[in-house]
Structure 1
């Protein structure tokens, strides 16, 4: 891992709820985060006296995470949530980092995400597909952990998807195309991608079995894909 910081990559504040996310996903999650930007701050929160989160011990050292001890003083209260939220607000007010990555499926963070976005910060949440829609919809982008798996059973991008799944994706892409402000038939793929994220923060071509949006588009017979002057474009066939 290089210690040099690329000035063109966003600096990220990465906050991980170890009580909510299994350590077996740590490497996949970290690899995804490094695709998004530079994890300048990387903290993982939990009560490390709990046996069920001891699996985080190795990832903490391997990935250079900073472990924060959050001890619950009262039964039934989640000290991890509170500690993570307090740190997030401190980071927000420091003004040093503009992009937050919260790794959790806990809908209790919905208010935090909303507050960060009110201050103009970009918030990416990485969590399980079963996460509450309120959490998924309030962030700029929601990444499903199930789409990150590199285990032996194969990645999501290699799994066959049903006709119904692809139909749903087709409708979403058509809606994204209709939102593009152009009178031309051809629409840039990047503009479609931005509209898809705005409509559905949890949209990810990997959910439908494709590593990239271009692959998903090419698999749809009612859409036409072309690479014009190194600018991928799409149109709905007549």
Structure 2
């Protein structure tokens, strides 16, 4: 398979020189870096730390004078260059390194033209820029990887709640179950990045997705040969107790049955942590239909559970 070619464009105004080696190492995982350019006002002492890195890492500095106070001319230069490179059509993707949301529209435009866009920036990078990218990497994660003893300052953007991630994975599994399709570990990883471009297991202290998933209580990994699938983890005793409780309520209701809304309320009152998705169902009525001694009947717009013995 032919390696992908990438253009690396760095905003020196919004990224520290200390990140350059981790940036190059990370991008090399995706393909060959054919353009390496960095933008800033090189007459300013602000960028002095970058100057040694440029020659060492063969990065081309693009001079952009700050003609007007408060105006970021670096943004304009990067955007113009990115579009020029796009129209040469000799790269497969771009890596935009900045912690500035001003490049959000540029990223969207590059993706509209069929290019892969990898974003990199610090924790402070605004959400719109992160979400615009195919993949967004937090630079502090790369530093932590190179210096394991270091700790990074976390922001509200840094870690998406683990429960939210687990819920998203459970939804994937259920969607696949509906079409009798197994959920592979690779699919989980790629779909999480599609949902959350800034998702990175390194934000949670892991280097492998499989190790990260071992933390979750509602899912499990099953290995068949070289294939690893992700499935729902069932507490069989708890499920049997819930099933029995629901059947007893329906049985007591007799021939009249019990409305599913009423049945659901009673069940959730007793089992407050019960989540229908944890058992492989997207709707409560699907779960009720699965019970051995219960059938679901419809009267107008009302669904009822009736005991069938």
The whole-number CA distance in structure 1 between the counterparts of 2:213 and 2:163 is 12
Specify the alignment match of 2:186 in structure 1. 190
Give the alignment of 1:2-17 within 5 angstroms: 8-17=2-11
SS in 2 for 1:187: coil
Work out whether residues 172 and 183 of structure 2, in 8 Å CA contact, stay in contact via their aligned partners in 1.
Answer: no
The structural deviation recorded for 1:111 is: 0.8
Work out whether residues 147 and 155 of structure 1, in 8 Å CA contact, stay in contact via their aligned partners in 2.
Answer: no
SS in 2 for 1:148: helix
Structure number, greater radius of gyration: 2
The whole-number CA distance in structure 2 between the counterparts of 1:49 and 1:178 is 57
Are 1:19 and 2:45 counterparts?
Answer: no
Give the TM-score normalised by structure 2: 0.68
Give the alignment of 1:1-238 within 5 angstroms: 8-149=2-143, 150-151=146-147, 153-154=149-150, 165-180=161-176, 183-184=179-180, 186-238=182-234
Q: 1:181 to 1:9 in 2, by over 3 A?
A: farther
SS in 2 for 1:13: strand
SS in 1 for 2:69: coil
The structural deviation recorded for 1:152 is: 5.6
Q: 1:132 to 1:180 in 2, by over 3 A?
A: farther
Give the TM-score normalised by structure 1: 0.87
- Deviations along 1:139-166, one digit per CA (max 9) or x if unpaired, are 111111121112363477xxxxxxx943
Work out whether residues 176 and 182 of structure 2, in 8 Å CA contact, stay in contact via their aligned partners in 1.
Answer: no
- Deviations along 1:177-210, one digit per CA (max 9) or x if unpaired, are 3454764474101111111111111111111221
SS in 2 for 1:43: strand
The whole-number CA distance in structure 1 between the counterparts of 2:89 and 2:55 is 28
Q: Show structure 1 runs of 5+ residues with no match.
A: 1-6, 157-163
Q: How many residues align?
A: 225
The structural deviation recorded for 1:71 is: 1.0
By relative contact order (CA 8 Å, sep 6+), the higher-ranking structure is: 1
The whole-number CA distance in structure 1 between the counterparts of 2:119 and 2:84 is 19
The two structures, once aligned, show a CA RMSD in angstroms of 2.0
Q: 1:176 to 1:55 in 2, by over 3 A?
A: farther
Q: 1:172 to 1:63 in 2, by over 3 A?
A: farther
Q: Show structure 2 runs of 5+ residues with no match.
A: 153-159, 235-309
Specify the alignment match of 1:3 in structure 2. none
The whole-number CA distance in structure 1 between the counterparts of 2:126 and 2:171 is 24
